[in-house]
């Protein structure tokens, strides 16, 4: 067995310096590298991996996106009037790796370079960031109109009793839909639930 040598304490201990702490003072006179989001912005690189977009007509509900997601940020969501479930993405978990976009067989799930995600710590605002993404054309239209790379919803309402969701988009448009359930299997109808009882 090879002997493991431990470095003596005097070799690893750094000598105290009375100059080094003062070197940090030079940063007082430099411009900060951080920006004041959301009042300032940095133009992202082309193809920057920002928020998702979803073409609801192209999505076939295969859940490949949900299966590959390393952060478990995707929950398949059944929406009234849609034949297949669509992914709901939780930005509290998402790491913006875009594996879900790469694996989507129909190209329904995509992304846009918009990336600014801020709140003023009101609880209802946090719900904004757990959403079924809007179609790419609509998101692009808003990015071109405002040019600030911000999230496209101003407000989201979720009625817990009726399961109705209302998206208030930044351009004043309103999108309404009703969530029937979550998961890969279709939710049971009221008649099926009554029969089981
Ligand atoms: S970008 Fe990555 S972490 Fe976010 S939902 Fe897609 S697969 Fe999951
Ligand atoms: S977004 Fe793509 S991968 Fe996800 S369920 Fe729809 S078709 Fe399948």
List residues bridging with 110 in a β-sheet.
53
**Is the distance from the beta carbon of residue 109 to the nearest atom of ligand 1 less than 6 Å?**
no
Instruction: Tell me the per-residue pLDDT of 34-67, one tens digit each, with 9 for 90 and over.
Output: 888 878 888 999 899 999 999 999 999 999 999 9
Domain residue ranges of the chain, discontinuous segments joined by +: 52-185
Instruction: Tell me the per-residue pLDDT of 123-174, one tens digit each, with 9 for 90 and over.
Output: 767 777 899 999 999 999 999 999 999 999 988 998 989 999 999 999 999 9
Structure-model confidence comparison of residues 17 and 196, the more confident one: 17
Position 4 scores a pLDDT of 83
CA of 70 to the centre of ligand 1 (A): 7
Of 59, 84, 98, 134, the residue with max ligand 2 atoms within 8 A of its CB, to mutate for a pocket test, comes to: 59
Averaged pLDDT, 94-109: 98
Position 121 scores a pLDDT of 67
Class of domain 52-185: alpha beta
Ligand 2: atom nearest CA of 74 is 4
> CA dihedral in degrees (126, 130, 132, 135; nearest 10)?
60
Reported as a pLDDT band with limits 50, 70 and 90, residue 197 is low
């Amino acid at each position: 067995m090879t002997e493991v040598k431990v470095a003596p304490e005097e070799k690893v201990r750094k000598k105290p310096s009375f100059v080094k702490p003062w070197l940090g003072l030079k940063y007082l006179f430099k411009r900060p590298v951080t920006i004041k989001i959301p009042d300032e912005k940095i133009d992202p690189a082309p193809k920057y991996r920002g928020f998702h977009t979803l073409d609801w007509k192209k999505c076939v509900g295969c859940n490949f996106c949900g299966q590959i997601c390393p952060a478990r940020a995707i929950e398949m969501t059944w929406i009234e009037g849609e034949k297949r479930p669509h992914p709901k993405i939780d930005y509290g978990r998402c790491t913006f790796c875009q594996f879900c976009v790469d694996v989507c067989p129909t190209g329904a799930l995509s992304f846009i370079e918009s990336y600014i995600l801020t709140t003023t710590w009101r609880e209802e605002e946090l719900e904004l960031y757990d959403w079924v993404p809007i179609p790419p054309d609509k998101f692009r239209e808003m990015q071109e109109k405002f040019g600030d790379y911000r999230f496209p919803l101003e407000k989201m309402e979720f009625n817990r009793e009726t399961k109705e969701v209302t998206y208030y988009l930044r351009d004043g448009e309103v999108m309404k839909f009703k969530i029937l359930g979550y998961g890969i299997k279709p939710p049971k109808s009221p008649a099926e639930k009554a029969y089981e009882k």
